Amino acid sequence: MRTATVNRATKETRIDATVNLDGTGVAKVATGIGFLDHMLEQLAKHGLFDITVAAEGDLHIDYHHTTEDVGIVLGQAFATAMGDRVGLTRYGDALIPMDETLSRVALDASNRPYLIWKVSFSRDKLGTMDTELFKEWFQAFAQNAGLTLHVECLYGENNHHIVESCFKALARALRQALTLDPRMAGQVPSTKGVL
């Protein structure tokens, strides 16, 4: 089973996360940030990952620390569950429409973290969450999962649709990249022999 549990406690947050890469899309998420919970549920459902996240953070200050640290811990859980990355398909991409919005994610589970973020918003907040925090989450997740991650909203007007299509595209691209390729059994998908 490709599963992992990661715990992180700081003066700002306490986060516990468990991931099963070969799950059925079950999410049990409680971060204290409703919109972030909704997005993590999308990640689980459309990636067919089982994800459990319990977070307590300094939400009385703002949502930054909790959002970023959830990305860190969830990214670490994905990285641990991938192990030595033997047999992975490695690359994944998805083009996801949501009403008037179209977003694209391409990624490489290369263990060389990098984020390209071409997403903009016309509002400062979605519900009570600052829209600038979505980049922080994707950055933290990519860095800690070891992903080269390109996220782009090609067009869209509704800010909710823009964010949700990005998370759904991430889910589908991850699902593709983390699928075990039977032709790569026992092999690292790199000419270097290691990722």
The whole-number pLDDT of residue 111 equals 97
pLDDT in tens, 134-193: 999 999 999 999 999 999 999 999 999 999 999 999 999 999 999 999 999 999 999 999
- Checking if the pLDDT of 90 tops 90, the result is yes
Distance in angstroms (rounded) separating the CA atoms of residues 165 and 11: 33
**In which band, very low, low, confident or very high, does the pLDDT at 46 lie, cut at 50, 70 and 90?**
very high
The Cα angle at residue 85 between residues 82 and 90, in degrees rounded to 5: 100
Q: Give domain status of residue 190, yes or no.
A: no
Indicate whether 177 belongs to any domain.
yes
Token pair for residue 133?
Answer: 């925090």
- Nearest to 108, CA basis, from 128, 89, 123, 80: 89
Q: Does any domain span residue 192? A: no
105, burial (CB in 10 Å: exposed 0-12, middle 13-18, buried 19+): buried
Residue 193 in domain: no
Residue percentage of the chain with pLDDT more than 70:
100
For residue 98, the model assigns a pLDDT of 98
pLDDT tens column, 47-57: 999 999 999 99
Encoded tokens for 95: 């083009």
pLDDT for residue 84: 95
Buried b (16+ CB within 10 A) or exposed e, 25-50: bebebebbbebbbbbbbbbbbbbbbb
pLDDT of 1 > 90? The answer is: no
For the domain that residue 56 is a member of, what is the CATH number? 3.30.230.40
Residue 189 lies inside a defined structural domain of this protein: no
Tens digits of residue pLDDT in 60-81: 999 999 999 999 999 999 999 9
Per mean pLDDT, which range of 4-13, 101-110, 152-161, 185-194 is the poorest? Answer: 185-194
Residue 194 inside a domain? The answer is: no
Count of structural domains within the chain: 1
Task: Answer whether residue 136 is part of any domain.
Answer: yes
For residue 34, give its domain range: 3-184
Residue 162 in any domain: the answer is yes
Q: What is the mean pLDDT of residues 123-136?
A: 96
